[in-house]
Each structure stands twice: as structure tokens, then as C-alpha cells.
Amino acid sequence: MVLRRRSALLAGAALCLAALAGLVFAYAPSAAAPRLSAAMRTQAGTQAASVIPRPPLLHVTGSGATSAARSADTRSSGSSGSSGSSGSPWTPLTNPPPFGTPGTMLLESNGTVLVHDEPDNNVTGGSNQWWALTPDSSGSYINGTWSQIASMPAAYTPLYFASAILPDGRMIVEGGEYIGENAVWSNEGAIYNPVTNAWASVAPPPGWTNMGDAASDVLADGTFMLQQPCNTCVTNPNLTVDDALLNARTLTWTVIPAAGKNDPNDEEGWTLEPSGQLLTLDLWVPAATQLYNPGTQSWSFAGNTAVDGNPVNPFPVVEIGPQVEMPGGNVFVVGAGTSTQEPPTACTTDAPTQTALYQYQPGTAGTWTAGPEIPAIGGQEMDSTDGPGSVLPDGNVLFDVSACVYNAPTHFFVYNVGSNTLTQIPDVPNAANDSSYYTRMLALPNGQVLFNDGSNQMEVYTAGGTPNPAWAPSITSLSSTTLAPGSSYSLSGRQLAGLDPGATYGDDVQDNTNFPLVRITNSATGVVTYARTSNWTTVSVAPGTRSSTNFTLPPGIPAGKSTLVVVANGIASPPVRVTIS
């Protein structure tokens, strides 16, 4: 069977249109609140009343093109894209993945990268298999090695799902737009314990018959929050605003009604701000944005995006690019353009794509301004109708865009925060055959970015530039400076989770890395070892946040004098001298 991907709505979505229109009006602000104009509300209701289900999109596989197919574009990449000897900032893994198709990637709390096998080679949409990429003894992911970890429950084979690393070190996976090759908007879930290398099933939130490609985030206090895009998605689609909070100890949920949510959750992503609130852009009522307050469990208005800086591609596309937070709380949002041309229709729209900048201001809702436009390339609109982006150690942003809606090719840019400009950088080998939604990015603890496009040619991006020293974590106390292999210890400090979530994608993928890693380097040999961290007291990205974490040394760590640092999103703390006994 040919794998196909949902575009904007399920077949039969017309059945939920009245409910959608009702939601838009039910959660609209009072007349005194300058959120949505009457015209915007009317537009939203009109859109909801005229939705026509569209056919699903063919998910074309990676081409397997060799490095000879690399883009000829070798323009200077600026401070965040300094090229290596090959003239490109991209380096392929020495050991390609030994499995079908790499998909969602998460960083385990011991520095290992966990990669989901998503073999969409016109065979199946998702699998229950995960693999681990372990850096070599020098800490290199480029020269890392692969091993397979335990598989999820046999019948749980999701594609496009919610995911996170929890403060106790476990990985949670929820939902799935597909199970195998079937679009079912699954409500299944599973949680992985890396210490025991075992999975356990997680029951869905009460009353949730579907979840699908839900977005999620870990709140500052460590609580995993999950959205529900729709309920009874297959039989009688009902777009929803509900969210749920996980009790990680009991694996039970509390459903919250999302008071004040202005529009349905479907296709929307979240960004954790230094205030502890979640930022979202309303895709069903374009221009409007909202903030979720965990204290009141309610949403409030966060302003409208600028007239010339609207990143939402509205109905009938209903997509947006990644919302990439930079140190300090400002967010760069990659636009999804205005084209409606998706395969098999060729991309002929020749227009620039708008981007948006959220200016975080403590104690306020913040403000929105326009970001730099993404230029058309080769007479084609370049946008991100789903796709990844990652903050770099120097605070700039790496992202990719592709032609029109889900079309190829893909090109790469760096957003330069200091000058508010974009710089195009060299492409990866398969870019001519890629659409942005095929691709994934993950912020690595050494400052690089791991990239995959569903082919076996995974690449590592090496940025230039240096971080602001004020962004670094700091260690204020360590339970012992004499450490034994296999033993556990604790440390405290400031900014241990960093000042941003790292990489982002949106509703289909979440791979945040705002948590502390402990890296130990042997002073005599230079051997790098990551200790497994757990029980982080917070994942807040607020400057100066005090927190603590436990860490456990692996049995094989080399003995002798060493240095210990805490790393968050590629930025390391000043070292502490320790001795491994």
C-alpha cells in the first residue's frame, strides 16, 4: 500500500463543521477585548461552514541521492553556518542508520539520541522500533554507533505523534496520525524506561477516543501536557480544544477544558516561554495568538501577528512552520506561505513567504513584529507547511523550507537574530527530492544539529559563532567531587535547562532538549562520558532559574582526574574538577 498523509482535514470532516464554528464563537473574547474583529470571526465561521475534505497526500520517500547531487549553492552562511573543508556545514554520519527510515529523534538524558524507525518506503507508515545513536569516546555524533533498543508494544506502530523526555528520564510517546499505513488518529500511548530498557502502555485521557498528531510540551514544573486535535476523528470528526496533564508517577491524566481557547488545537504547536506560559498561534483564526497559563489552566490573548508578518497558511491549507524560541524568550516563526499547490500539482506560485517575530516582554502578553521574508527560489514560493527548525548556540536559527505545499525541493536558511536577516546556506544531498515535512532536526549537546530527511543519509550541521556567556548554565553545588562508576549523585545550579527548548517542529514532532545533561571529560585521555540525569526539578527556560538534578555514572567510565560540566542545548557550564575513583 502507498503511504498517504493527511493534508488538513479527515475525510468526512464536513460532519464537524457546525461544531467548529461553535467553538470559534464560544471561545471568542468579550466585546471589550481587542482580540478578534467581527470580520475575522465571520471569516472563521464561513471557513468552517465551507470545508470540503481533500484527498490525502502521497508521502514520497527519500531519493537516496549521492553527495554528487548536493546543491550547487555555496553562498556564505554567515556566523551560524561556517563551512568546513568541503564548503558545506553538513557532514554525513560515518555510520548510516542500519534501519529503514529515520524519523522522530529525541535526546536521551545520557546523551544518546533515540530515533524512531518510520519505514515509509511505500510499505508502511510507522513501526514500533527505536534505535539509539551513541557518541564515540570523544563525544562525536558524526562517528557515533547504532544499537537497537526495546520495541514498543507490537500493535503500536505510530507515525506523527506527541513525544517528550520526562524529568525522571523516561520517554513518552502519545497518539499517532497513522498506525502502520492506516490513518486512524490513534489514542494509544507508551512510555520507555531507559534504565530497564522496557516499554509500558499508557492509557489515554478519559473520554479521548482519538489523539492523532497531537502537540505536547513539558511545563516548567515538569508536567507533561498533551493536546487533543480531534475526537471521533474517523467516524464523526469533532475538532476540540481540550488538553490533558499527565501524572507521571501513576500514568493517569487530568483533562482540562482549555478555558478561553480561541480555536481548535488541530495543527497548532506550543512554545514554552520564560514566564512558564505556552505560546500558540491560532491557525483556524489567522493572525490571533494566545498564551496558556498553567496556574489558571486557561488561555488568554497574546496579540495579533503583524499585517506583513503572518506565518499562517489559512484554510484550506491550515499549516504553519516551526516556532523557534531564542534565548530570552523571543520566538522566530517560519511561515507556511500562501500557496495551495500540493502534489501532484506542481508549484508555480512565485511569491515571498512572510515570517513572524514574537517579542517576549516579562509581565505582559508580548508583541508581534514582522520577520524577514523568505525569498522565492527558482520561481517557486519557499515555505514550511510543517517542518523543523533549531536554535543554534549563538542564538541564531537554522530551518528549512520547500516549494509551495508539501512539494520539493527543500532549501536551508539561517535566521540572523542580530541583523534580522536571512542567509541561505548549502543544501543537504537529498534536498532536491525533499519536502520540509519529511525532515527533522535535533539540537545536540555538543552544539551541532542532527538532521534527517527519511533517507539513510543523516547529516550533522556544524554552526559557527559562539554563545553569549550569560546563557551558560552554572553549577553552584555538587554532592561529591569524588565519583564512583555506577553511583548516583546530585548537583544544583542556575539555568541548568538552558534558555530555550532547542529544536522544534510543531504538532507532528516534539523533541525539546531544555533539560540538563552531565558531561565528564577525562583530563588525561580526553575521553568523554555522559552521566544519566534524572529528577530535574524544573525545565524552565527563564534566566537565572535555580534547579537541581540527579546523575548516575555509567559503569565503564574511565578512572582519574576529570572535569564535569552541565550542558543544555550545546552550551556548557564552567567546569568543576572531579575525580573518578
Give 486-506 pLDDT, tens digit per residue: 999 999 999 999 999 999 997
d(C-alpha 370, C-alpha 372), whole Å: 7
Lookup: cell for 455: 533517507
The pLDDT score that the predictor gives to residue 234 is 86
Structural Rg of the chain based on CA atoms: 22
Q: 176 near 188, Cβ under 8 Å?
A: yes
Mean model confidence pLDDT for the chain: 87
Beta bridge partners of 116: 130
The pLDDT score that the predictor gives to residue 124 is 63
The closest of 279, 333, 318 to 541, measured between CA atoms, is: 279
For the stretch 108-157, pLDDT in tens is 999 999 999 997 544 567 899 999 999 999 999 999 999 999 999 999 99
The pLDDT score that the predictor gives to residue 116 is 97
The closest of 298, 358, 364, 307 to 334, measured between CA atoms, is: 358
The pLDDT score that the predictor gives to residue 84 is 43
For the stretch 460-473, pLDDT in tens is 999 988 999 999 99
Q: How far is CA 486 from CA 198, 483, 532, in A?
A: 20, 9, 10
List the Cα angle 553/225/536 in 5-degree steps: 25
The closest of 290, 232, 236, 237 to 263, measured between CA atoms, is: 290
Q: 121 near 128, Cβ under 8 Å?
A: no
For the stretch 58-113, pLDDT in tens is 333 332 222 222 222 222 333 454 444 458 999 999 999 999 899 999 999 999 99
The predicted model gives 296-312 an average pLDDT of: 97
The pLDDT score that the predictor gives to residue 100 is 80
> Helix, strand or coil for residue 509?
coil
Residues in the chain: 581
**In terms of C-beta density within 10 A (0-12 exposed, 13-18 middle, 19 or more buried), how is residue 255 classed?**
middle
Alpha carbon dihedral 302, 305, 310, 313, in 10-degree steps, equals 30
Q: How confident is the model at residue 19 (pLDDT cuts 50, 70, 90)?
A: very low
The predicted model gives 202-228 an average pLDDT of: 97
> Helix, strand or coil for residue 259?
strand
Q: Where are the domains of the chain?
A: 4-49, 470-580
For the stretch 550-562, pLDDT in tens is 999 999 999 999 9
pLDDT at 55 over 70: no
Listing DSSP states for 110-136 in one string gives TSPEEEEE--TTTT-S--S-EEEEE--
Lookup: cell for 423: 542567509
CATH architecture of residue range(s) 470-580? Sandwich (2.60)
**In terms of C-beta density within 10 A (0-12 exposed, 13-18 middle, 19 or more buried), how is residue 250 classed?**
exposed
The predicted model gives 327-345 an average pLDDT of: 97
Would you say the pTM of this structure is higher than 0.75?
yes
Lowest mean pLDDT among 15-24, 117-126, 403-412, 502-511: 15-24
Q: How many CB atoms lie within 10 A of CB 195?
A: 12
List the Cα angle 195/201/207 in 5-degree steps: 140
